[in-house]
């Protein structure tokens, strides 16, 4: 991932998966976005409902 302007950006890693985790995603992503704030990541099951996503999003308070 490449950003032309990283400073001041907020990055939230969100994935859906049938079983695998997120591994080292945060560690590997960080060097490519210096100056950005990496928020806590979230993995949802592949069958996540829209309601669950909305509830999680509201808790972010962005």
Measure the CA–CA gap between 11 and 40, rounded to whole angstroms: 9
What pTM was estimated for this model as a whole?
0.62
- The tally of CA atoms less than 13 A away on the side-chain side of residue 62 is 13
Q: What count of other Cβ atoms lies within 10 Å of the Cβ of residue 10?
A: 10
The dihedral of CA 31, 33, 37, 39: what is its sign?
Answer: negative
Determine the length of the chain: 62
Question: pLDDT tens digits, residue range 12-51?
Answer: 888 887 667 677 777 778 888 888 888 878 889 889 999 9
């Amino acid at each position: 991932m490449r950003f032309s302007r990283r400073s001041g950006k907020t990055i939230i890693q969100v994935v859906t998966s049938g079983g695998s985790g997120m591994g080292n995603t945060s560690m590997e992503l960080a060097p490519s976005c210096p100056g950005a704030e990496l928020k806590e990541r979230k993995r949802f099951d592949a069958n996540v409902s829209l309601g669950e996503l909305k509830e999680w999003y509201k808790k972010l308070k962005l």
